[in-house]
Structure 1
Amino acid sequence: MKLFLFLLSFLLFFLPSSAQDGLSKNDTNYYYRYPHKLVIGPLLSKKNTVFAIDPKNQAGPLRYSTNTPTKLGISVGYDWLSVSASVGLGTLDPDYKKEKGKTKSINFQWAVNGQSVLADLHFQINKGLYLRDQPDPSFGSGPYYVRPDIQTQIFGVTLRKILNSRRFSIKPPFVYDTWQQRSAGSFMVGGEFIYGSARGDSAFVPAGVSGNFPDAGINKLHYIMFGPTLAYAHSFVLKNHFFVTLVASANGDAAQTTEQTTSSDKKTRWYFTPNLSMRGALGYNTSNWELAASVISNRFFIGANEKDIHYQQYSDQFRLAYIRRIHAGKTIPTVMNWGRKIIETMGFGFLID
């Protein structure tokens, strides 16, 4: 925990001191901002989180996935704050089936899409997974192999400074308060710190296929990862309104994994690993409304003590939104300006500009 606080403080203090150029006024020949408009509209969203065990032989990976339905909700934003609320569609989602078990989740992922900063804050706890892509497994008692005992966690932060924030904005596909009218892109630099874990009451690998997996008795692991981040983003704009935005982010992390077997034997290993984060979106944008479909994918590659196997934890989030930009009245601007002053006084204004 002390290491986490030290690295988080380093990233937070590094970025504001080096991001002042990004806080200069944007070039309106490239994009317009509407921070004083209320952005509101319906959305559809779907998220899956996966914990995978992948041997190097021909056995193929085991992918334990959450069982969560597509959600219908509403997105509301003004200036620096954007929130959404939604309800699950249940069996209206063909991918969601009760036979896959029940997933209990605490999922707080805050994406900071500022003028000069792109940040991901991770806080995920998922309990109750099923084996994806293997319906009616021979070693299961039902149509799906369900593990209500497996729990996964991811905590951490990834921060990136946008170097060309005067001409490129990350906001249009994800925050909806900006209109990018001309094609532009930007490199980004930063860093990340991630802590994650997985545990089950019994071994992750089912007994029926344990012969295909080295160290098949593992039922607990935790890991830490930290290192620099390099990213590039580009928005391709056609006739001012149609857009396609692509973002690729790579991290070169130092990492440590500790594994424990059902007999309480522990092994620890240090290593280097790449991690990937990707975003993509397409849509149509105007001064008064926007239609956008987007996907955000974060992938963490976790080394094992047995070099013939590795783990992955990753999440994919899909969203379709129709947003209107309307007059905000008097109360909302007053409250949000008050909140902005508090954030700026605390020294975190660079995250919301």
Structure 2
Amino acid sequence: FLVGGEFFYSHFKGDSSFIPSQVDPPEFLGGYHFDNSLSINLGANVGYSHTFVVKRHWFLAIGVSAGPQLSYSVIQEYGDDLSKKRGVTFGVNAGLRTGFGYNSRKFYVGVFFINQNLYHNLSINNASSLFSTGIFKLNLAYRFTLKKPIKFLNPNYWKFLQPKENE
């Protein structure tokens, strides 16, 4: 079971309007042409993650999470430094993590895909934003035996982090 929080910040600035001048229906973003957009999102989420051992050394992992978010956005109209639409809205965030791999005493190979989606209403009437990002990760590891232990990696080296025994 997972419980967590998320913080996202995005800022886009263009040298011209993000909406081409040929696209001018008034129902599309209220006819608002903008070249600058800022968004700050803070959210909480809950989810579940599990790793399945498919066969000795082989695994499959999957995790999902979702939750509400609070979003503050500023959108600036193209060509007008004074015309800004600001607002605080509510939205939803959702994430998917999935992967598979091989894990043994000497080797580890894992391939993972992580996807994150943020959906929230904008400060323009009848407009919303969907921000989606994803990443593939390939992890390769070889475990080797040291001739002499590294003192820094020994848990006893970090005694101040150890729980104190009751007297």
Give the TM-score range, shorter chain.
Answer: 0.7 to 0.9
- Secondary structure at the counterpart of residue 151 of structure 2: helix
Segments of 5+ residues of structure 1 without an aligned counterpart are: 1-186, 346-353
Pair 1:319–1:217, CA change in 2 (3 A)? same
Tell me the distance in 2 between the aligned counterparts of 1:305 and 1:244: 41
Tell me the distance in 2 between the aligned counterparts of 1:273 and 1:324: 43
Tell me the distance in 1 between the aligned counterparts of 2:154 and 2:133: 34
Q: With structure 2 as the length reference, what TM-score do the two structures score? A: 0.78
Partner residue in 2 for 1:334: 151
Partner residue in 2 for 1:206: 20
Partner residue in 2 for 1:191: 5
RMSD: 2.8
Q: Does residue 268 of structure 1 match 2:86?
A: yes
- Residue-by-residue CA offset, 1:290-337 (whole Å, 9 max, x unaligned): 222111122222421234332233321112333221124547x33445
Tell me the distance in 1 between the aligned counterparts of 2:57 and 2:104: 6
Bigger proportion of residues as helix: 1
Segments of 5+ residues of structure 2 without an aligned counterpart are: 163-167
1:257 alignment partner AA: S
Partner residue in 1 for 2:50: 234
Of 84, 102, 117, the residue aligned with 1:284 is: 102
- Secondary structure at the counterpart of residue 22 of structure 2: helix
Pair 1:261–1:233, CA change in 2 (3 A)? same
Tell me the distance in 1 between the aligned counterparts of 2:153 and 2:11: 37
Q: Does residue 293 of structure 1 match 2:111?
A: yes
Pick the structure with greater CA Rg: 2
Tell me the distance in 2 between the aligned counterparts of 1:213 and 1:329: 67
Bigger proportion of residues as strand: 2
Aligned residues: 157
Larger RCO, structure (CA 8 Å, separation 6 or more): 1
Tell me the distance in 1 between the aligned counterparts of 2:134 and 2:38: 21
1:207 alignment partner AA: S
Q: Does residue 314 of structure 1 match 2:140?
A: no
- C-alpha displacement of 1:246: 0.5
Q: With structure 1 as the length reference, what TM-score do the two structures score? A: 0.40
1:194 alignment partner AA: F
Partner residue in 1 for 2:121: 303
- C-alpha displacement of 1:233: 0.1
- Residue-by-residue CA offset, 1:45-99 (whole Å, 9 max, x unaligned): xxxxxxxxxxxxxxxxxxxxxxxxxxxxxxxxxxxxxxxxxxxxxxxxxxxxxxx
The answer on whether the counterparts of 2:85 and 2:124 sit within 8 Å (CA) in structure 1 is no
The answer on whether the counterparts of 1:282 and 1:292 sit within 8 Å (CA) in structure 2 is yes
